[in-house]
């Protein structure tokens, strides 16, 4: 069951255009759905006519930029800016058997990780994201994937209602550094996890042992919405403060231009435009490095 966009977000000229794109994309019933491979596959080229192909691809084109993916739709690769299978492959070995588990995917974007969770037969995935474009991207994909395992809510983590039951697993990936109060975000995760539930936390970090947290003066790697980038020990302190019983680092990675790059389906600007030859960001900060942590409530 999906929650519609609230009226004030639906009644904008842009949302009206996207609504009509979504509603007019031809419905093709395909059983050839594969949510278990690096590239999420939806149908194959033999199932649609050239005219249908043109309409479907122009619907996907109208919803650019595709930041998260990749997807293959009736034989055409929707090559997203981020190669999310790389993050997924770092994460998946740490997930429990999901067949009887409920999962919250915070900041699900177009739904790549939620679809992969469905591919692991998660009992139910609640996918949340407050950005209107990503609502339409998810629903365009799900027009063909047609999964009932995922419920998409067009909201931020701050808006999770107390009536939503606690989860077995929460993915909090690429979220913490965008928000003014990361401790509040972790506290919400703790409160929304069942006892012994698992949080997968993935976020930017600073690795200089002399720095607890980097607060960018203005932008970081070209992004203006970065409030602070903590060190791993700082994150561990936050998790403990929020009541997580234990936490463990899965690994750290430097983001490379094989993982994040510009494609015809994204925008021309990407990681390579914000990293200099010295390996620093254009603002002179250390280049993006990320940690993945598992923590138990």
Instruction: List contacts with ligand SAM (CB under 6 A).
Output: 68, 84, 106-107, 109, 128-131, 134, 156-158, 173-175, 178, 202
Q: How far is the CB of 128 from ligand SAM (least distance, A)?
A: 6
* Helices 84-91 + 112-119 axis angle, to 10: 40
Which CB, 129 or 168, lies closer to ligand SAM? 129
Which CB, 43 or 290, lies closer to ligand SAM? 290
Letter string b/e over residues 20-46, b meaning 16 or more CB atoms within 10 A of that residue's CB:
ebbeebeebebeebebeeeebbbbeee
SS (H, E, C) 128-147: ECCCHHHHHHHHHHHHHHCC
At residue 288's C-alpha, the angle toward residues 95 and 203, to 5°, is: 35
Which CB, 25 or 173, lies closer to ligand SAM? 173
Q: How far is the CB of 44 from ligand SAM (least distance, A)?
A: 27
DSSP assigned state of 164: S
**76-78/71-73 β-pairing:** antiparallel
Which CB, 130 or 222, lies closer to ligand SAM? 130
Q: How far is the CB of 286 from ligand SAM (least distance, A)?
A: 18
For 6, the 3-state DSSP assignment is coil
Q: How far is the CB of 99 from ligand SAM (least distance, A)?
A: 23
Which CB, 74 or 110, lies closer to ligand SAM? 110
Can you tell me which residue has the tokens 């069951």?
Answer: 1
Which CB, 41 or 67, lies closer to ligand SAM? 67
Which CB, 88 or 296, lies closer to ligand SAM? 88
| Burial zone of 14 (CB within 10 Å; 0-12 exposed, 13-18 middle, 19+ buried) | exposed
Q: How far is the CB of 226 from ligand SAM (least distance, A)?
A: 10
Q: How far is the CB of 68 from ligand SAM (least distance, A)?
A: 5
Which CB, 102 or 203, lies closer to ligand SAM? 203
Strand boundaries in 79-161, DSSP class E: 82-83, 102-106, 124-128, 150-153
CA distance 107 to 109: 6
Q: How far is the CB of 293 from ligand SAM (least distance, A)?
A: 13
CA distance 85 to 69: 8
Q: How many residues does the chain have?
A: 297
Q: How far is the CB of 75 from ligand SAM (least distance, A)?
A: 25
């Amino acid at each position: 069951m999906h929650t519609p966009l609230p009226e004030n977000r639906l009644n904008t000229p842009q949302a009206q255009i996207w609504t009509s794109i979504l509603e007019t994309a031809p419905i093709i019933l395909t059983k050839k759905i594969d949510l278990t491979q690096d590239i999420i596959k939806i149908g194959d080229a033999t199932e649609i006519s050239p005219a249908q192909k043109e309409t479907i691809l122009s619907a996907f084109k109208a919803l650019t930029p595709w930041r998260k993916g990749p997807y293959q739709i009736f034989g055409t690769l929707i090559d997203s800016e981020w190669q999310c299978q790389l993050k997924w492959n770092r994460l998946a070995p740490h997930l429990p058997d999901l067949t009887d588990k409920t999962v919250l995917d915070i900041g699900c974007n177009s739904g790549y990780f939620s679809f992969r969770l469905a591919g692991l037969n998660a009992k139910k995935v609640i996918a949340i994201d407050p950005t209107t474009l990503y609502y339409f991207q998810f629903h365009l994909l799900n027009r063909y994937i047609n999964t009932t395992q995922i419920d998409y809510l067009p909201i931020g983590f701050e808006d999770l209602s107390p009536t939503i039951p606690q989860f077995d697993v929460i993915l909090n990936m690429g979220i913490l550094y965008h928000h003014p109060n990361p401790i509040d975000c972790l506290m919400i995760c703790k409160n929304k996890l069942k006892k012994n539930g698992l949080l997968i936390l993935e976020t930017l970090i600073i690795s200089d042992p002399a720095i607890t947290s980097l607060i960018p003066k203005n932008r970081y790697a070209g992004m203006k919405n970065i409030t602070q980038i903590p060190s791993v020990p700082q994150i561990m302190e936050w998790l403990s403060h929020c009541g997580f019983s234990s936490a463990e680092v899965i690994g750290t990675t430097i983001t490379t231009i094989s993982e994040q790059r510009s494609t015809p389906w994204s925008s021309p600007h990407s990681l390579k435009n914000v990293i200099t030859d010295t390996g620093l960001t254009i603002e002179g900060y250390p280049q993006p490095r990320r940690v993945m942590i598992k923590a138990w409530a």
